[in-house]
């Protein structure tokens, strides 16, 4: 079949809601876009362990410590499913990992902010996992089978993460005056960076049009951001914290909450590598990667010997 016929057939499959599997024909650009997006997503899960990991030893009780430890382990698992899903597109894990550790592949801007108090851990669960769920629920319907399937389990776990963060924040927001201040301060610092997680505004998002045409994304960055703002307003009110935006106002005509201007300059600086924690995050990941080289070598050698023994025995 000629190349343009194959493109046409591929688009028909997408438009009919068919799921694309690894061995199916796909345009080179579809494959490249998925590798970019899925690997960025995987890196985000792994780098995302750092701000929370910072508080495991300082969690205020044994129970809080156990929950946080389990959450951070879940994020590692998400990174691994996503790397495995991306490998089905013919890229190696080493290539992907080295792409952000030594190259300029991206990971989510949100993980370049510091966690200053334990309230930040509560807010990450509520807002950051909450935003991730809004985005990932959409991706669970993505046209690429391995990505969509990975999202189903990830969303279930993120949903638990969100609830535990919200519950902890609710407790803090109804605690002593000092605790209430700590909770509000964390909300003030994380609110705008969380809105940036959804990506630039639609008219400045070069990838959205193509990703939507191919059913990888089914909603735009702004649509998802709006849906997150709408649900967060109610959740904030219910536990008595304020969202730091004087322009938040319910719009009777649209049925949505209007919000103020996002500080986009800050977003572009963070994704260029100039956020408060970018350098430290990369330094930490590079150190872990280099210190783990012997483990990867030992695993490869073990696999080689095992295969050799199996061949001898057969």
Give the residues lining the site for ligand FAQ (CB under 6 A).
36-37, 40-41, 44-45, 48, 75, 106, 108-109, 124, 128-129, 132, 135, 196-200, 205-208, 211, 221, 271
CB of 271 to ligand FAQ, least distance (A): 4
CB of 313 to ligand FAQ, least distance (A): 43
Query: Between residues 37 and 241, which has the closer beta carbon with respect to ligand FAQ?
Result: 37
CB of 115 to ligand FAQ, least distance (A): 11
Output the CA–CA distances (angstroms, integers) from residue 312 to 53, 302, 304, 305, 309, in the order listed: 45, 15, 12, 11, 5
CB of 249 to ligand FAQ, least distance (A): 25
CB of 29 to ligand FAQ, least distance (A): 13
Query: Between residues 160 and 180, which has the closer beta carbon with respect to ligand FAQ?
Result: 160
Cβ neighbours of residue 255 under 8 Å, at least 6 residues apart? Answer: none
CB of 236 to ligand FAQ, least distance (A): 19
Query: Between residues 221 and 226, which has the closer beta carbon with respect to ligand FAQ?
Result: 221
Query: Between residues 32 and 307, which has the closer beta carbon with respect to ligand FAQ?
Result: 32
Query: Between residues 196 and 241, which has the closer beta carbon with respect to ligand FAQ?
Result: 196
C-alpha–C-alpha distance, residues 202 and 199, integer Å: 8
Q: Which residue is nearest to ligand FAQ (CB)?
A: 48
Query: Between residues 54 and 184, which has the closer beta carbon with respect to ligand FAQ?
Result: 54
């Amino acid at each position: 079949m000629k190349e343009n016929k194959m493109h046409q057939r591929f688009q028909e499959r997408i438009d009919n809601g068919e799921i694309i599997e690894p061995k199916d024909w796909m345009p080179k650009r579809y494959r490249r876009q998925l590798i970019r997006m899925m690997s960025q997503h995987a890196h985000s899960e792994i780098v995302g362990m750092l701000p929370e990991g910072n508080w495991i030893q300082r969690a205020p009780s044994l129970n809080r410590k156990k929950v946080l430890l389990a959450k951070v382990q879940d994020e590692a698992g998400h990174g691994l499913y996503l790397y495995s899903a991306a490998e089905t597109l013919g890229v190696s894990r080493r290539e992907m990992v080295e792409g952000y550790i030594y190259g300029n592949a991206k990971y989510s801007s949100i993980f370049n902010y510091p966690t200053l108090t334990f309230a930040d851990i509560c807010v990450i669960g509520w807002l950051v996992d909450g935003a991730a769920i809004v985005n990932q629920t959409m991706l669970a319907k993505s046209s690429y089978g391995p990505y969509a399937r990975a999202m189903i389990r990830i969303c279930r776990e993120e949903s638990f993460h969100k609830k535990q963060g919200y519950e902890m924040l609710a407790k803090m927001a109804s605690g002593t005056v000092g605790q209430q201040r700590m909770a509000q301060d964390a909300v003030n610092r994380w609110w705008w960076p969380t809105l940036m997680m959804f990506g630039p505004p639609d008219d400045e998002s070069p990838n959205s049009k193509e990703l939507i045409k191919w059913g990888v994304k089914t909603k735009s960055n702004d649509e998802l951001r709006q849906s997150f703002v709408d649900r967060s307003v109610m959740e904030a009110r219910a536990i008595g914290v304020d969202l730091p935006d004087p322009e938040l106002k319910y719009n009777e005509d649209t049925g949505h909450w209007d919000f103020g201007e996002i500080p986009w300059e800050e977003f572009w600086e963070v994704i260029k590598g100039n956020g408060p924690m970018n350098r430290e995050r990369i330094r930490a990941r590079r150190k872990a990667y280099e210190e783990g080289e012997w483990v990867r070598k030992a695993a490869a050698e073990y696999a080689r010997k095992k295969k050799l023994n199996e061949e001898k025995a057969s």
